[in-house]
Structure 1
Amino acid sequence: MLELALHILDIVENSIRAGAGLVRIQVREDEARDLFLLRITDNGHGMSPEEQRKAMDPFYSTKKVRRIGMGLPLLSDAAERSGGKMILKSRPGVGTAISAEFGHRHIDRQPMGDIVSVLMAIIVGNPGIDFIYRHEVQGRIYLLDTRNIKEALEDVPLNHPEVTAFLREQIAEGLRDIGAAV
């Protein structure tokens, strides 16, 4: 994976497979502290300590199609290459939290990539799951909470073509407004 947005997609897909009903994605860009933080938490099944160790092994996967699990090891490597680190915390029956810190200005920090398309894919592809996306840049915050959108839409689904076009534009505009690295 060459972009942070693709790491987010991979981790969120894992959260969904783990039965999460709510996934929180947080991105914080703090140039003054030379910090680019990515945090994803879910309320899925969670992992035992043994499962957490296995999740960091690139040759282990719970997926039936692909027998290797490169997602978390690649994210950890990407964070370390930019002077940061990744932390995995999980509890069975509670959920999982993954935090990755990157050197914001480090030459080896991967670019964010197309986060708008990734958010659209996870929201539209999983209308029964709630997502909160919070992106902060130098104290300016963009917040997207699908629970609020669903409430406002009432019976109109998130994957309705007019809704998806509106959402895509709103996300892109919101991220531009705060000066997010997209």
Structure 2
Amino acid sequence: MQELSLNILDIAENSVKAGAALITVAVEYRTARDRLTVTIADNGCGMSAETLQKVTDPFYTTRTTRRVGMGLPLWKMAAEMTGGALAVQSREGVGTTVTATFGLSHIDRLPLGDLPQTMTTLIGGSPEKDFVLEFDYDGRRFTADTRQYRAVLGEEIPLSAPEVLSYIDSAIREGIAECCPDPGVL
């Protein structure tokens, strides 16, 4: 994958398939520590201890359509190439948290990519789910939460409506721009 947002999309889609009602994507930049941390957490079905031990093996998958699962192994490789790491925590019946850390200025770090588009793709594809984006750039924070949008819109207007997705995309772009003084670092 050519950008981190595509990995985020892939892992969040796994959360949707795991039956999560709430999926949180947290992106944290710490320039003084030269660190980027991306966390995807859900309240889905979780994984057994046996499955958890195998999740970064590219030849292990729970899918029946093909025999390989590359999402987490690629995410792990992308982190480790920059001096970072991948951690996966999960409990059956509780949910899963996937955290990847990256060397922020490392030459091999993939760009973040189009995070607003990633979030609106997730929301549009699963409008019945709740998604939270927490963006933090050296303590300057922005949060987008579909529960808040849903409360304002009511039940008559779905989150998947094109004008709603366009608004959410714009709101996320503006929020990130207000937090991040140097968009080139993303």
**TM-score computed with the length of structure 2 as normaliser:** 0.94
Q: Give 4+ residue runs of structure 1 displaced > 6 Å after superposition.
A: none
Q: Quote the residue 2:73 is aligned against.
A: 73
SS in 2 for 1:65: coil
SS in 1 for 2:41: strand
Q: Quote the residue 1:173 is aligned against.
A: 174
Q: Quote the residue 1:123 is aligned against.
A: 123
How far residue 17 of structure 1 moved from its aligned partner, in angstroms, is 0.6
Q: 2:82 matched to 1:82?
A: yes
Distance in 2, Cα, partners of 1:145 & 1:79: 27
Distance in 1, Cα, partners of 2:51 & 2:37: 24
Distance in 2, Cα, partners of 1:161 & 1:98: 30
| Amino acid in the other structure paired with 1:147 | R
How far residue 56 of structure 1 moved from its aligned partner, in angstroms, is 1.3
Query: What whole-Å deviation, never above 9, does each CA across 1:40-69 have from its counterpart, x for those lacking one?
Result: 110001001111122111012122333210
Worse overlay, 168-177 or 15-24: 168-177
Aligned-residue CA RMSD in angstroms? Answer: 1.1
Return 5+ residue gaps in structure 2 as ranges.
none
- Percent of matched pairs sharing the same residue: 45
Q: Quote the residue 2:146 is aligned against.
A: 146
Query: What whole-Å deviation, never above 9, does each CA across 1:126-181 have from its counterpart, x for those lacking one?
Result: 11100110000011111001001001000211111221221111111111111155
| Amino acid in the other structure paired with 2:13 | E
| Count of residue pairs the alignment pairs up | 182
How far residue 84 of structure 1 moved from its aligned partner, in angstroms, is 0.7
Q: Quote the residue 1:158 is aligned against.
A: 159
Distance in 1, Cα, partners of 2:94 & 2:166: 34
Q: Quote the residue 1:104 is aligned against.
A: 104
| Amino acid in the other structure paired with 1:74 | L
Worse overlay, 169-178 or 62-71: 62-71
| Amino acid in the other structure paired with 1:120 | T
Distance in 2, Cα, partners of 1:121 & 1:65: 23
Distance in 2, Cα, partners of 1:167 & 1:3: 21
| Amino acid in the other structure paired with 1:66 | R
